[in-house]
Amino acid sequence: MKKIYLIILIFWCLLISCSKMSTGEKGEQYYEKGDFKKAEEYFLKAVEKNKNNTAMNYLGSLYAKQEKYELAEKYWKMAIDNNNREAYFNLGNLYIELKKYDLAEQYYKLIEENNKIETLHELGVVLHNLGVINEKKGDYIQAKEYYKKAFENGYAESKQSLRDIEGMGY
């Protein structure tokens, strides 16, 4: 009889813990499984319910994967307004992809200005991507400077970009 009570108690505890999972966390689970329809549903509820900036950031990523770039931009901007630092990186990357280099540069510089860099690796990413932006804009001298700084800060991926720019005579 004690075993039955123990099993019921364990089942009840599991049931309660599952039901306490936040709407945003449920959205994350569906997102990780690739069920974007369900993920979107839960993220939208989380945003509506409590202005969840992580859910806003996930919605941006979800819409970007579906090439719904205007919606991605909208939710990443909302996430930034609600102090989500990852959204700065995501929005900067979106603008690079859309060839909106001035906007991309603006958001990458905001990452630095607003102290959103937490690791040396992130600093390298920011500097490298500023190099990419300047290279795309045709400012090879500035691109070289950013690649060099990124490499000096331990971002190894910048080494090849630096070589390529130097190979062009800059």
The total number of residues shown for the chain amounts to 170
> pLDDT tens-digit profile of 2-14?
555 445 545 444 4
Q: What is the pLDDT of residues 3-43, one digit of tens each?
A: 554 455 454 444 444 445 688 899 999 999 999 999 999 99
* Residue whose pair of structure tokens reads 């060099």 in the numeric block: 148
Residue 146 buriedness (CB in 10 A; 0-12 / 13-18 / 19+):
buried
The number of CA neighbours under 13 Å toward the Cβ of 119 is 6
The model's pTM is 0.81
What CATH architecture does domain 23-100 belong to?
Alpha Horseshoe (1.25)
pLDDT score for 22: 84
**Which letter, b or e, does each residue of 90-104 get, where b requires 16 or more Cβ atoms within 10 Å of its Cβ?**
bbbbbbbeeebbebb
Q: By the 8 A CB rule, do 94 and 76 touch?
A: yes
Both tokens of 63, joined, read 């819409």
User: Tell me: the pLDDT tens digits for 134-150?
Assistant: 999 999 999 999 999 99
Q: Where in the chain is the domain with CATH 1.25.40.10?
A: 23-100
